[in-house]
């Protein structure tokens, strides 16, 4: 895990972590929705890591994850969390941009 206080340069991709729980419908939907959002926006802008908490539940503590699925914008700080299956594309994009500038 990288230090949360580190600052990203404008060229660096947004570092996103998607927490899912195995094959639950909302987990699968969140993965698919995020994939679409990333593809539709500037390719290479996002570096996405998907963590399956079913397999490694202890990783939930890193970002105090309570509800699944949750997308964490790890970089740039401050950390932002988006809870749900990411079906509301606009909301996702708004959250990802907040505090970016």
Partner 1 sequence: MAIAVSAYDNLSMDELRRRLEEAEDTLRAIREGEVDALVVRNPRREDEVFTLEGGTSYHSFMEAMDLGAAAFDDSNRLLYANKALRELLHLPDDTIDASHIAAVLDEETLVTVRGLIEAAKQTKQTAEIAVVVDSREMQLLVSAAPLQLGVTRGLAVTFTDITAKVRAASAEASERAAHSIIASANEAVVVCDTNGVITHANAAVSAIYNGNPVGEVFSDIIPLKLTDSTGLLQTEDIVSLAVSGTSVQGIEAVASQAPRVKDVLLSAAPLRVGSDKVSGCVITMVDLSQRKAAEKQQLLLMGELDHRVKNTLALVMSICKRTASTEETVQGFQAAFTGRIQALAATHNLLADRSWSSISIAEIVSAELDPFVSSAQARLKVEGIEAKVLPRAAIALGLVIHELATNAVKYGALSNETGRVQVKVTRNEGEAWLGIEWVESGGPVVHPPSKRGFGQTVITRSLQYTSNGGADLEYPPEGLRCRIRIPEEDLVAA
Write out the residues near partner 1 by the rule CB under 8 A: 20-27, 53-54, 57-58, 60-61, 64-70, 78, 81, 83-85
Task: Return the H-helix or E-strand segment holding 39.
Answer: helix 25-40
CB of 43 or CB of 61, closer to partner 1? 61
Least distance (Å) from partner 1 to the CB of residue 58? Answer: 6
CA angle 96/99/101 to nearest 5° reads 100
Q: What does each C-alpha distance from 44 to 14, 17, 47, 48, 54 come to in angstroms? A: 9, 15, 7, 10, 28
Least distance (Å) from partner 1 to the CB of residue 60? Answer: 4
CB of 50 or CB of 83, closer to partner 1? 83
CB of 22 or CB of 40, closer to partner 1? 22
Q: How many CB atoms lie within 10 A of CB 42?
A: 9
């Amino acid at each position: 895990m990288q230090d949360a206080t580190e600052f990203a340069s404008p060229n660096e991709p947004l570092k996103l972590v998607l927490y899912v729980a195995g094959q639950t419908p909302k987990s699968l939907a969140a993965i698919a929705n995020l994939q679409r959002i990333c593809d539709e926006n500037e390719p290479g802008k996002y570096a996405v890591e998907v963590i399956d908490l079913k397999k490694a539940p202890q990783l939930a503590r890193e970002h105090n994850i309570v509800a699944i699925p949750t997308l964490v914008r790890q970089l740039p700080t401050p950390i932002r969390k988006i809870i749900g299956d990411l079906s509301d594309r606009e909301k996702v994009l708004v959250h990802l941009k907040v505090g970016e500038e």
